[in-house]
Amino acid sequence: MKLALKWFKSSYSSNDGPACVEVAITAPTVHVRDSKAKDRARLTFTDDAWTKFLAAMEQS
C-alpha cells in the first residue's frame, strides 16, 4: 500500500511566480516537488539531511 502524501506550498513560494515549491513530510523523510510539475521527479531527504539543508540555506 502506497502512502498518500499531504503536500503544502512552501512559505517561500510566491502565488504567481516561477518559484513554487511544495513539501510533504512523513517520518522519516521530507519530499520536495515543483508545484507546476507535480508528476515529475521530486527530491526526498532524510530528516537529518533536511535540517542541514535548511540551516545551510539560512546562512546563504
Rounded Cα–Cα distance for residues 4 and 33 (Å):
14
pLDDT of residue 1: 57
Confirm if 20 and 13 have CB atoms less than 8 A apart.
yes
Q: What is the pTM of this model?
A: 0.75
8-9: strand order across its sheet: 8-9, 21-26, 29-34, 43-46
The residue among 2 and 21 whose pLDDT is bigger is 21
Query: Residue 2: is its pLDDT beyond 60?
Result: yes
Residue 38: which pLDDT band, with cuts at 50, 70 and 90? confident
Q: What are phi and psi of 53, to 5 degrees?
A: -60, -50
Residue 35: which pLDDT band, with cuts at 50, 70 and 90? confident
Query: Residue 45: is its pLDDT beyond 90?
Result: yes
Rounded Cα–Cα distance for residues 55 and 17 (Å):
24
